[in-house]
């Protein structure tokens, strides 16, 4: 490819030289052509030099322009400022050159020509006018002489065919001092009379001859031009011819003069362009290097340094940039070390951490979160809704709004993944006060803690219950034994004595049995393990309502049982106790309400589950109390043991069921229990339903 380019350039140069030779051979300088070989060689060399210089400078300018255009089209760094500098330099140089060309072409060519050649033209015109005046005067004179000859009677008589003196024509020539004269009849090529001879330089006058208003012939008078007038006229004509020759070569001389001016202008433009390119390189090269360095730094290559020569302020700019990148590199190393330290902490703490964008998009999670939540779910999650159930995700978004206002917000969540229920403490922190800032969510698995708290609470419950039960059992047992002793001392009918002994024996035995049961309850701190069987939720609720038959006076009970509910696998008695406890709490909450309505609903739930809803129109529960309702010994009634809802929550937990508390509309509280169906429960491993009870041992 390179050889082809070289060969092509050589052929083009050869064609150019041939064209130059042909052009030189076609030059015609008129009377100002070279007189010898030396002048010809000099003229040809100068013309060739001018042409080569113009071609070379033009090629260099076009090449630089094309290179600059390519750099600008490729958006190379520094090309735009280089273009501006070149255009500015060309503008500063072309304007004076154009004015010089205009001045040279108009003033030097036209005005000087008018100043110096106009007098010559005027003189030449005067000479020509004088010569023409002399010619006209001589012609007028000979015309007058011809008219005088035509008016002579002899001339008319001779043409009419009469006899005249033969010497009258000669006498006329002598008197008028004309060189020759002749009389010629109409339609006759030969004159009928003549005198004199034709001179070398003459003027001829002709005039018609009339007889009785009829043209009968014509006369001709010939006079010789004076010798001085003829010489002057010839000289004027020669001078005029020479001037016209000079005038003809003036255009060619002007073209050469303009070519020389164009060469000078092109040379000035070339020098200005070269200087502009040189200066632009002094500016654009450091700027391009700085731009490339900025791109490298933008890509993360903070070790990049600008290695380019620069002067003046640009040298300071390059030095400052290198110093800045050096500081950035040091800061980046320090930040990277801190980042690795922070990441090491986040990856090794047992608490799950999620980095979120302002719209809830999941950006990053730590390793501990994969141990808390299902790993495959964490790996594919990109938003909160991918990681948490819909209601829990909405609750977390509410926490995000609170964190935006207060800086931090926390809440306890219970999440269900298959047959596993997680108790999580969720804390959301806003990174900044701006609405576009992100959040950091910290998730802590409190299942073990809650189980420990529940175990401790149930231990305390068992201890207190055992204590409260043992207190009356002792006097009951003592009383029964005292009755037996008194019976031995007293005589009673045999039947009565037998009955009393049987009753007191039964009391003593049962008291001892209850004591044994209380001791066992206190020791293991648990209720009996559930015995799940396939049951209908509707029938369980109906049996619980039967307990309150005739005992809910003044309360409107509405039931809405969904037909064809899927069966559930539960301990009927324990679930009946859950429903009884909730209905009893609802009835007690509506004692002082003007509207006393209890609404019990069974319906299909999400994800193969059924729901039981118990809604009342009582005083309701505050937001703070909702979080404490299922804690042992907490009560909003100011009386009672506060164990009812704690027992409810424990039973539901043993059955992998969930309960949530919401505000009822228009007033009151709404308890919703979500219970897994038999199909969903049967997929779990055996013993999962009683895992909660077994872990309490």
Query: Residue written as tokens 């503008």?
Result: 91
Query: Minimal CA–CA distance to 419: which of 374, 381, 365, 387?
Result: 374
Q: How far apart are CA 145 and CA 169, in angstroms?
A: 12
Return the pLDDT at 614. 94
Contact partners, residue 293, CB within 8 Å, separation at least 6: 304, 305, 306, 321, 325
Q: How far apart are CA 71 and CA 58, in angstroms?
A: 20
Q: Which two three-digit tokens encode residue 442?
A: 């910290």
Beta-bridge mates of residue 356? 362, 439
Instruction: Compute the mean pLDDT over every residue in the chain, rounded to the nearest whole number.
Output: 76
Highest mean pLDDT among 269-278, 295-304, 685-694: 295-304
* For residue 658, pLDDT beyond 50: yes
Measured at the alpha carbon of residue 615, what is the angle toward residues 610 and 618, in degrees to the nearest 5?
A: 160
Asked if the bond preceding 666 is cis, omega within 30° of 0, the reply is yes
Rounded to two decimals, the pTM is 0.32
State CA 552 to chain mean position distance: 70
State CA 511 to chain mean position distance: 86
Least confident of 28-32, 256-260, 417-421: 28-32
Q: How far apart are CA 524 and CA 295, in angstroms?
A: 71
pLDDT in tens, 214-270: 888 888 888 877 655 566 667 777 777 776 666 666 666 666 667 667 767 767 777
* For residue 695, pLDDT beyond 60: no
Return the pLDDT at 93. 67
Q: Is the dihedral of CA 452, 398, 393, 575 positive or negative?
A: positive
pLDDT in tens, 296-338: 777 777 787 877 776 666 777 778 878 888 888 888 888 888 8
């Amino acid at each position: 490819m390179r050889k082809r380019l070289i060969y092509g350039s050589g052929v083009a140069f050869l064609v150019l030289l041939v064209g130059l030779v042909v052009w030189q051979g076609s030059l015609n300088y008129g009377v100002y052509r070279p007189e010898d070989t030396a002048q010809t060689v000099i003229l040809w060399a100068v013309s060739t030099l001018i042409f080569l210089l113009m071609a070379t400078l033009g090629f260099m300018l076009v090449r630089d322009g094309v290179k600059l255009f390519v750099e600008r089209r490729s958006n190379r760094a520094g090309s735009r400022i280089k273009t501006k500098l070149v255009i500015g330099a060309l503008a500063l140089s072309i304007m004076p050159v154009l004015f010089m060309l205009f001045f040279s072409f108009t003033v030097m060519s036209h005005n000087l020509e008018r100043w110096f050649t106009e007098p010559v033209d005027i003189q030449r015109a005067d000479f020509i006018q004088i010569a023409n005046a002399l010619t006209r005067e001589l012609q007028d004179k000979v015309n007058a002489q011809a008219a005088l000859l035509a008016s002579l009677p002899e001339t008319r008589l001779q043409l009419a065919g009469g006899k005249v003196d033969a010497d009258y024509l000669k006498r006329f020539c002598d008197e008028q001092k004309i060189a020759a004269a002749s009389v010629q009849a109409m339609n006759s090529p030969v004159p009928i009379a003549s005198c004199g001879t034709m001179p070398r330089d003459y003027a001829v006058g002709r005039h018609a001859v009339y007889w009785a208003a009829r043209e009968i012939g014509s006369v001709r008078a010939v006079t010789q031009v004076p010798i001085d007038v003829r010489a002057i006229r010839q000289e004027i004509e020669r001078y005029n011819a020479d001037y016209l020759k000079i005038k003809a070569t003036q255009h060619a001389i002007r073209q050469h003069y303009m070519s020389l001016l164009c060469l000078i202008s092109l040379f000035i433009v070339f020098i200005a362009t070269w200087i502009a390119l040189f200066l632009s390189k002094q500016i654009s090269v450091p700027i391009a290097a700085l731009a490339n360095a900025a791109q490298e730094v933008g890509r993360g290559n903070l070790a990049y340094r600008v290695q380019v020569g620069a002067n003046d302020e640009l040298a300071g700019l390059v030095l400052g940039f290198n110093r800045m990148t050096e500081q950035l590199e040091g800061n980046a190393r320090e930040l990277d070390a801190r980042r690795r330290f922070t990441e090491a902490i986040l990856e090794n703490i047992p608490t799950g951490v999620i980095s979120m964008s302002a719209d809830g998009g999941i950006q990053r999670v730590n390793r501990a979160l994969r141990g808390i939540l299902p790993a495959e779910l964490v790996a594919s999650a990109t938003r909160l809704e991918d990681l948490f159930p819909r209601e829990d995700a909405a609750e977390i978004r509410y926490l995000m709004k609170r964190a935006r206002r207060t800086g931090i917000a926390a809440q306890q969540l219970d999440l269900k993944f298959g047959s596993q229920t997680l108790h999580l403490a969720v804390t959301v922190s806003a990174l900044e006060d701006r609405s576009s800032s992100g959040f950091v969510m910290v998730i802590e698995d409190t299942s073990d803690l809650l189980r420990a708290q529940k175990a401790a609470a149930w231990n305390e419950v068992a201890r207190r219950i055992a204590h409260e039960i043992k207190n009356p059992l002792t006097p009951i047992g003592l009383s029964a034994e005292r009755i037996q002793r008194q019976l031995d001392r007293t005589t009673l009918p045999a039947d009565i004595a037998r009955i009393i002994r049987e009753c007191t024996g039964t009391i003593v035995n049962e008291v001892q049995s209850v004591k044994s049961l209380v001791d066992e309850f206190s020791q293991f701190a648990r209720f009996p393990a559930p015995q799940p069987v396939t049951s209908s939720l509707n029938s369980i609720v109906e049996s619980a309502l039967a307990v309150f038959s005739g005992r809910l006076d003044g309360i409107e009970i509405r039931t809405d049982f969904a037909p064809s509910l899927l069966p559930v696998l539960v301990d009927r008695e324990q679930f009946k106790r859950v429903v009884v406890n909730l209905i009893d709490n609802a009835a007690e909450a509506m004692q002082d309400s003007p509207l006393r309505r209890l609404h019990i609903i069974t319906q299909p739930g999400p994800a193969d589950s059924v729901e039981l809803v118990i809604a009342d129109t009582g005083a309701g529960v505050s937001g703070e109390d909702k979080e404490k309702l299922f804690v042992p010994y907490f009560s909003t009634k100011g009386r009672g043991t506060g164990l009812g809802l704690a027992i409810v929550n424990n039973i539901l937990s043993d059955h992998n069921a969930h309960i949530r508390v919401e505000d009822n509309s228009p007033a009151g509280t709404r308890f919703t229990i979500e219970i897994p169906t038999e199909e969903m429960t049967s997929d779990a491993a055996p013993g999962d339903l009683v895992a909660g009870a077994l872990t309490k041992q």
